[in-house]
Structure 1
């Protein structure tokens, strides 16, 4: 064992979303021997891992997770792993969070003042519950001559960081979404006190560095286990072929189909209200398929060129569409779904904010964040026209978020900041 990772978060397992699944994947990965990113092992999505020289393998870390027990018992995400999960008796929601959501603005975001009060209360309580527990873990581990590194992210990262700093434990903070930008005063100390802030993509890292005076930024891309989600590459190709074949049978293959997966205030809800009718007037042949639950996604179904399908498996979505569309309002956290589309040979159109250009790569088109609606329509039409060529480039680019590659990057980061401890 190299040392101990102590992750202190509101949620990990059961996960509240993709951020928790990403962190769980990274932690599980470094709890097994493996290479550093410097080894430059070539991982291909949905293919078996290549042979790695045993001399390049780093020893496994040990990881303990402190999280709220409000969501229940562990799931298969971590139950069959080396992670040690410890629940703390702290509720996720309270009176103030309820008011924050009831008084949310037109954008759909919770009321900032009441959200801040809720988060400050939770972080204060979380820190109080953590201090003794983490101090004991630190003492036992350091007595064995091993280093201790803290890890945190999202809602309760301010409280976790306070404890890490008080106990002189170097720690890493992951920035996953717009939360720290919406509540900068609450999270400034946790970000600026971290040994490093980890971001998926250099673009998001630049956004963080332009807002906070952080010590270091490290690029740890989202870890996507394509094989466990979608099967072998042969199975993925079969799924795609079947989806296109069904479109041929339904006389639908010549209708341009654009897919939007997941709609929230941050992920373009207001923008789509303007784009979709404009697209209808300039390119009436195109059809928009919106996927995902919630009122925001459902609301888009009101447009005559749009169909809302509700919750649908990602493999089904990308088996039958031509172009994937994703935008964000302010925070360019890596669009995982862009690379999932790419795995199926579907190119994406996205925006020049944060890490979205890195996620798309050459497998689609990026629209400038200041561009008008006509530019978006032109990008969608061009991508549709070049969908075969761009789709193949998107397929090749998907490997940038292969989970084994991301785990190697995370292993390199924790090795860097544990040396000398």
Structure 2
């Protein structure tokens, strides 16, 4: 009963809908705060990059795509810590491809985005958001990702969104088109950069929205005490 007067914040429209459906509550949406200074970098465009090579994140699908795109180099970057057996299994899988490498996690994501032409995010589970998509957009890197959870909100106009279960040929075509068609890539890259600059992702706007929620909570508490 004490929570009936609480105000809620969700990190995506998807999460807000889930709260509404499950608990009947309304939420103010504030996406994860992305500081462009930590991610914005020129890129050499050497790789199609997937971050966090777990099956939940779509690793199996990414491997299939890489196998079909033998002419394109793929970079897989650890995010969640891989145990030794899992890492060895991933390395064996990638070695069989011949066009993919695995790198250890890093605290400086510019070293990753600085070599990335396309970010691949074929997540299998319902993401609350899609932070890597928002990070990549800061450098004008388009994202090819799945229609799962809040990930489509994070990708928006800055990439291509496909059903996880879409035909493999559709995923391959999206990657190849961005890799080979300079005009299409430049258009999508510009859209990604513009999408990163939308008001919803501006840290000052996010902070102002957060403070508004806090102020409304304080005002509500004061009114309840007065009554």
Is 1:206 the equivalent of 2:4?
no
Question: CA 1:420/1:309 → structure 2, altered by over 3 Å: closer, same or farther?
Answer: closer
Structure-1 residue corresponding to 2:28: 218
Query: 1:194 & 1:330 partners in 2: Cα distance?
Result: 32
Aligned with 2:71 (options 285, 289, 302):
285
Change (3 A) 1:402 1:364: same
- What is the TM-score of this pair, normalised by structure 2? 0.79
Cα deviation digits, residues 149-187 of structure 1 (max 9, x gap): xxxxxxxxxxxxxxxx6xx4x5xxxxxxxxxxxxxxxxx
Between structure 1 and structure 2, the one with the greater Rg is 1
How many residues are treated as equivalent by the alignment? 207
**Aligned pair 1:377/2:165, yes or no?**
no
**Does 2:102 correspond to 1:316?**
no
Give the match for residue 137 of structure 2: 342
- 2:61 and 2:220 map into 1 onto residues whose CA distance is 54
- RMSD over aligned Cα atoms: 2.5
> 1:263 and 1:405 mapped to 2: Cα distance?
33
User: Aligned equivalents of 1:264 and 1:316: distance in 2?
Assistant: 21
Deviations 1:54-94 (A, max 9, x none): xxxxxxxxxxxxxxxxxxxxxxxxxxxxxxxxxxxxxxxxx
CA distance in 2 between partners of 1:390 and 1:297 (Å)? 33
Using a 3 Å threshold, how does the CA distance of structure 1 residues 318 and 278 change in structure 2: closer, same or farther? Answer: closer
Aligned partner of 1:402 in structure 2 is 202
Quickly say closer, same or farther: Cα 1:207–1:383, change in 2 above 3 A.
Answer: farther
Contact 1:321-1:346 within 8 A present in 2 as well: yes
Map of 1:255-270 to 2, 5 A cutoff?
257-268=47-58
Contact persistence 2:122–2:164 (CA under 8 A): no
Gaps of 5+ in 2: 222-227
**Per the alignment, in what secondary structure is the counterpart of residue 169 of structure 2?**
helix
Output the CA distance in 1 between the equivalents of 2:128 and 2:219: 29
Q: Give the TM-score of the pair, scaled to structure 1.
A: 0.45
Q: 2:161 aligns with which of 366, 377, 382?
A: 366
Q: 2:147 aligns with which of 349, 352, 373?
A: 352
Are 1:389 and 2:187 an aligned pair? yes
Counterpart secondary structure, 1:224: coil
Shift of 1:277: 3.2
How big is the shift at 1:363? 0.9
CA distance in 2, matches of 1:324, 1:350: 8
1:276 corresponding residue in structure 2: 63
SS at 1:390 equivalent: helix
* Structure 1 runs not aligned, ≥5 long: 1-164, 171-192, 231-235, 248-252
Q: Is the 8 A contact 2:65 2:171 kept in 1?
A: no
Q: Which has the higher contact order (CA 8 A, sep 6+)?
A: 2
Q: Deviations over 1:293-331 (max 9, x none)?
A: 414566433221320011233101111111001133332
- Per-residue deviation at 1:259? 0.4
Query: Structure 1 residue 397: deviation in Å?
Result: 1.3
Measure, in 2, the Cα distance between the counterparts of 1:348 and 1:309: 20
C-alpha distance 327-298 of structure 1, shift in aligned 2 (>3 A): farther
Question: How far has the Cα of 1:261 moved from its partner?
Answer: 1.4
Partner of 1:419: 219
Give distance in 2, aligned partners of 1:334 and 1:354.
7
